[in-house]
Each structure stands twice: as C-alpha cells, then as structure tokens.
C-alpha cells in the first residue's frame, strides 16, 4: 500500500533539518512516496565560502545543494518542485496564488500526510510563517473541494520546549549564550503536551548529518553546538498535529503515518 508524504518548506535545507530523518527511516519502504516543495531557492541567504557562489548564482547553487543532500541521504524525492518565489519576501507575494500553486501539487498527489511550518515558523522566519500558512490553507482547500483519498493528517513542525530547554542548559554549561526564542531566527519551542508526533531519528542521524553537509554555502549553521548536541538536535523530528484535531492527552505517535 502506498503512503505519500508531502513536505512544503521555504528554503533549501529546511527540509534537511525538518524531515530528512523521517524520509531516511522510510527509504526502503517500497510503498513510500515523497513529494517536496520549496517555495524559494534561498538566494538571499549566507554564502559561507565565496568560492561556492555569488549572490547572483546562490539560488541555483542551493537548489543543487538540496538535490545533493537527498542523494547523500540515500533517498531522493519522487517529485521535487522549486517555486522560486523571492527569498525573504514570500509574505509580500499574493497569498492566494501561492496557496493555489501548492494546492495543485497536493491535488495531484493526494498525500496521506503533509508537513509544513506552524505559526511559529520554528525560528520566527517570515518566509517559514508565510509558507506554513499557505500550505495549511492549501491542505484544507483541496481536502474540502475534492474529498477522497489522502489528506489524513496535517503536521506543523515544532520543537518541544523541553528539548529547547535541554539545548540551552548545555549551551550555558559550555559557557555559551542560550538561544533566545523571543529573537528572530532563534528556535521557538512549543509546550510538550502540544507535540503529537515525535520521531526518533537516532538510527539515521549519520545519514542526516551527511545530507546537511551538502548545504555547503550554509556551513556553520550549527557551529555553536558540540558534536553531541548537534546529533541530539538532529535525532528528533517532532510535529504538532494541526489536523485532525487531537484530543488533549492523546498518545504521541512515533511516525508521520502511524495510525492512518
């Protein structure tokens, strides 16, 4: 039986952090289909090493880095779309047009589960928030206008607050500044009881690290972290179940498709 996962993110590397472990865990599952949408190509991002890209080429370079990251992980998307909206300006673009572009892909693929950003955008990044809002709207639009297969679960990526607290304890213990969730581009946490899906990616964390290394223009993103902390941060992928409504206190599931 086929199970399709669609992931809608803003930038090349959002996918590596947020869902590559889940994909690696399903890599050998013959019924697994993986659809990936990038709303932007990240062309306004950092260039860690000027020999890798210029501001003019960064978007194309980051698309290639993303493709390479999935090859390094060992499972490439079955369908991979780059919408090439302007990086850092997704929210300035007509919202309805973005919703419809995402909806067209979702309608064709009828995924069982969709992962995107929630209202915190993980780091408060406006592109993440706008992308999550559009993908959430697209999910419901297609689900309501053409009922049928798929659309069983909408997930919003989220970091359990206890995990963020643990990272901060470790950073402070190492004499570093803790992350501050009130600042833009710093990770936010959600109350642990709101997390409905918690995936243990420990068995595939090496593959996730290999995938992350391919984002060479973004090297240094996790440089504040020790190796052990970096592995810890990558070893869990967690989500709030945005739809259907989850009963308070319901059991946390260990896979995006569990129970579907």
CB of 129 to Zn ion, least distance (A): 11
Give the contacts of 36 (CB within 8 A, at least 6 positions apart): 6, 7, 9, 15, 77, 79, 80, 81
In the complex, what is the shortest distance from the CB of residue 125 to Zn ion, in angstroms, rounded to a whole number?
Answer: 5
CA distance between the termini of the chain? 12
Q: Which is closer to Zn ion, CB of 117 or CB of 139?
A: 117
Stretch that binds Zn ion, among 13-21, 83-91, 186-194, 224-232 (CB under 5 A): 13-21
Pick the piece of the chain touching Zn ion (CB under 5 A) from 11-19, 51-59, 70-78, 223-231. 11-19
Report d(CA 104, CA 174) in Å as an integer.
48
Which of residues 4 and 123 has its CB atom nearest to Zn ion in the complex? 123
- Candidates 3, 5, 8, 11; binder of Zn ion (CB under 5 A) is 11
* Closest CB 123 distance from Zn ion, rounded Å: 7
The pair of structure tokens assigned to 248 is 């308070």
Nearest to Zn ion of 200, 221 (CB atom): 221
Span from 7-15, 48-56, 104-112, 205-213 in contact with Zn ion (CB under 5 A) = 7-15
Minimum Å gap between C-beta 171 and Zn ion is 21
Q: Which residues of 117-129 are buried (b: 16+ CB within 10 A; e: fewer)?
A: bbbbbbbbbebbb
Smallest separation, CB 157 to Zn ion (Å): 11
Closer CB to Zn ion, 218 or 238, in the complex: 218
Nearer to Zn ion, 11 or 207 (CB): 11
| CB-closest chain residue to Zn ion | 11
Q: Is 14 in the site for Zn ion (CB under 5 A)?
A: yes
Q: Which is nearer to Zn ion, 14 or 112 (CB)?
A: 14
- Nearest approach, Cβ of residue 247 and Zn ion (Å): 31
Q: Which residue lies nearer to Zn ion by CB, 17 or 32?
A: 17
Number of residues that bind Zn ion (CB under 5 A): 3
Q: How far is the CB of 17 from Zn ion (least distance, A)?
A: 8
Contact region for Zn ion (CB under 5 A) — 10-18, 112-120, 138-146, 250-258? Answer: 10-18
Q: For binding to Zn ion (CB under 5 A), which residues are involved?
A: 10-11, 14
């Amino acid at each position: 039986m086929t199970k399709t996962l669609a992931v809608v993110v803003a930038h090349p590397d959002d996918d590596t952090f947020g869902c590559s472990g889940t994909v690696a865990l399903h890599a050998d599952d013959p019924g697994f289909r993986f659809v990936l949408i990038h709303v932007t190509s990240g062309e306004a991002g950092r260039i860690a090493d000027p020999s890798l890209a210029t501001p003019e080429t960064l978007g194309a370079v980051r698309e290639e880095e993303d493709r390479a990251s999935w090859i390094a992980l060992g499972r490439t998307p079955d369908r991979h779309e780059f919408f090439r909206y302007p990086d850092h300006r997704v929210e300035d673009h007509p919202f309805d047009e973005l919703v419809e572009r995402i909806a067209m892909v979702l309608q064709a693929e009828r995924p069982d589960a969709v992962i995107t950003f929630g209202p915190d955008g993980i780091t408060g990044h406006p592109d993440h928030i706008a992308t999550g809002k559009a993908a959430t709207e697209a999910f419901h639009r297609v689900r309501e206008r053409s009922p049928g297969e798929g659309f069983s679960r909408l997930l919003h990526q989220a970091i359990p607050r206890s995990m963020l607290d643990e990272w901060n304890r470790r950073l402070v213990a190492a004499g570093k500044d803790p992350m501050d969730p009130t600042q833009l581009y710093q990770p936010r946490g959600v109350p642990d009881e709101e997390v409905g899906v918690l995936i243990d990616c420990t068995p595939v964390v090496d593959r996730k690290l290999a995938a992350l290394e391919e984002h060479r223009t973004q090297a240094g993103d996790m440089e504040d972290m020790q190796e052990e902390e970096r592995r810890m941060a990558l070893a869990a992928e967690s989500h709030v179940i945005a739809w259907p409504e989850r009963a308070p206190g319901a059991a946390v599931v260990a896979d995006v498709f569990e129970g579907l």
